[in-house]
Chain A
Amino acid sequence: MIDLFLHAAILMTTPILLAAIGGLVNRIGGIVNLGLESMMLAGALVAVEVSSATGSVSLALVAAAAIGALVGLAMTLVITRLRANEIIVGLGFSVAVAGLVRFLLKSAYGVSGTYSPPGVAMLPRIDIPVLDSVPILGAVFSRQDPLTWLAWALVPVVGFALARTRWGLRLRATGAAETTVRAVGLAPLTIRDASTVFAGALAGLAGAHLSIGVVGLFNEGITGGRGFIALAAFYFGRSSPARTALGALLFGFFDAAQIRLQGHGVPAELVQTLPYIIVIVVLTGLGVADRRAARERAL
């Protein structure tokens, strides 16, 4: 029972974590990405299509990352080159891509809502021989898919890259002091674009995890607002990948819990509001702290 729950919670964390790490990197580079949902949706559809057409999971993942990156590229160019407000452009992409996906479902596949082609190859599950039979550890570590391992591997890798590498420094400088970056002869807009493309690729993989990792088909509501939950996770995590992962894990647990709580009379709809409430609480806390710091500086 507890094993099943833990396993489900880790499974539900993966797409949120992947998208949240992308969003985190993007935000450090200077863009709050509200288009993650649209990139996940595109990735989920393309993964199903490629997986069914070729039978190859790796090709499906590459294609999902590529389409996510492509949507990210389109979004970032509008933001950085046409100097558009990132929030509205992100919302606009969420609306337009959701419309485009449903349009294509009807127009190209002649289905409405759910697209379930035959022969979708699913993400493999990785068994860990001895651990598998250990009660709690087995549920957590064994029979997880490669994207879950990738997501968790990215947490320390991105943390290290941001803190200790040249690229991390350049990215942080782009977000914090654009003019300085330009003054030393680098192109801040290009660095920022790269961070959005990275976020798009990860969000595309997050979508693929939902479609070929969990259910094996595409549904227009498959992302279910997880792009915005990812936003909640990286707001919760501020600039730290580890804290972001903690936030994603928390929301993954909520996601798994609401399915179980439903049977016990706790309405799923109310559990679903928790991530959004947490974002508001975190933002309020940050705002209050900022004001207090500013007042102390003024004294």
Chain B
Amino acid sequence: MTRAFSSAPLGRALQAAAPFVLAVAIGAIVLAATGHEPLSVYRLMIVEAFGDERRIAATLTAATPLLLTGLAAAIAFRAGIFNVGAEGCFYLGGMAAAIVGYALSDWPGALSIPLALLAASLVGGVWLIGPGLLRARFGVDEVVTTLMLNFIAIDLTSWLVNGPLLARGSANSATPPIGASAELPRLLPPSTLHLGFLISLALVIGYGFWSRISVAGFRSRLVGLNPRFSRAVGIEPMRVFLSMMVASGVIGGLAGGIHTLGLVHRFVAGFSPGYGFTGVAIALLARNSAIGVALAAILFGALSSAGANIQLFSNVPIEIVEILQGAVMIFAVAQLGFGWARRRAAA
């Protein structure tokens, strides 16, 4: 339906790439102003992100949490819910998986891994029932409530990891490590790429099919485009708001759980360097499409993986990545405004 009415694919691709291009331009100005050579820095970043198998594996490892936080944001945005709470779900899910993974250290992985991921998803989903209900019942702005819940979740997990759950004899704030059997298997040793990447990619692909061919996916898009029309044709927008909010929380929590089981193997203070917020940028850049989420997640994964390396080899601080991420967020909503979906559908 969309396809028949939309402009040429090339035009759409250019439009989607515009925020990223602008962000790269801003980054180039910052680099040039601080005495770096923008072109050679960017060239080095591309090489460091995709140069060989080891580097590609590092990029995909870095993209793994972003696939799911991007998906968590996209599935909510698509239904017209502006959930920015994936960051908090990520922390809580990571903590839940660390607790279960440690408690079930003696269990076989076939049991402890699904249970840990289930716990992570549940915590994330339950965490967002509140803002979902408040939005659906009383029209309380979900952006502010979910943003506040992020800070609460970060403080809460930070209290747990510094107090009740601090690993014995650990100087820095970390829980005890999970059992070896609960670790997700590595895909390409010695690289850190783990099974979580395939799980995340499969979920994004599943979302692609769900959003395009299922009745529920169509309903949620309809509610996102026009809640009043949806109600007129017998879809209850409030129910869709609530269920998509919870689905978003489940995915955000799962993202944290996978990050614990696959990469960190415990919960540490500062568990996420803003994966939830990067997920918002990814969903905006991707315009909530599955392919877009996958591409944008790999792009941001490449940025952070290359950013860490260029800091080692070329004295360009890794924070250039944050500047690019923030700029993408800003430009992704600029010009077209927030009503882009509506306008494009009307065109």
Q: Which residues of A contact B (CB under 8 A)?
A: 32, 34, 78, 82-85, 87-89, 91-100, 102-104, 106-108, 225, 228, 231-232, 235, 267, 269-270, 272-273, 276-277, 279-280, 283-284, 286-288, 290-291
Contact = CB atoms under 8 A, between A and B. Distances in A.
A99 B284 contact: no
B327 A84 contact: no
Interface stretch (B115-123, B146-154, B176-184): B146-154
B342 to A, nearest CB: 13
Contacts, number: 153
Contacts of A284: 134, 138, 140
B174 interface: no
B331 to A, nearest CB: 8
A108 B34 contact: yes
A99 B333 contact: no
- 6 closest Cβ pairs, A-B complex: A96-B326, A99-B322, A92-B329, A287-B138, A95-B326, A269-B159
A160 to B, nearest CB: 28
Given A95-B322, A99-B320, A108-B34, 5 more contacts: A92-B328, A100-B319, A106-B317, A228-B147, A284-B134
A99 to B, nearest CB: 3
A99 B138 contact: no
B39 interface: no
Contact of A91 (B280, B316, B323, B337): B280
Contacts of B208: none
A89 B148 contact: no
12 contacts: A84-B334, A85-B333, A85-B337, A88-B280, A95-B277, A99-B320, A102-B322, A231-B144, A270-B159, A272-B155, A273-B152, A283-B134
A86 to B, nearest CB: 9
A287 B134 contact: yes
State the majority secondary structure of interface residues on B: helix
Contacts of B325: 95-96, 99
Contact of A287 (B30, B36, B140, B328): B140
A269 B145 contact: no
Given A279-B144, A287-B134, A225 B151 contact: yes
State the majority secondary structure of interface residues on A: helix
B151 A78 contact: no
B159 A91 contact: no
Contacts of B163: 267
Nearest to B139: A287
Contacts of B34: 103-104, 107-108
Interface in B256-284: 274, 277, 280-281, 284
A110 to B, nearest CB: 9
A124 B333 CA distance: 43
A178 B100 CA distance: 53
Contacts of B332: 88
A277 B317 CA distance: 36
A84 B330 contact: yes
Given A107-B34, A290-B138, A291-B139, A89 B334 contact: yes
B75 interface: no
A36 to B, nearest CB: 13
Given A88-B280, A103-B323, A95 B139 contact: no
B322 A93 contact: no
B42 interface: no
Contacts of A273: 151-152, 155-156
Contacts of A93: 326, 330
B107 interface: no
Identify the interface centre among B84, B156, B322, B335: most chain A CB within 10 Å of its CB: B322
A84 B336 CA distance: 7
A88 B30 CA distance: 22
B317 A83 contact: no
A97 B140 contact: no
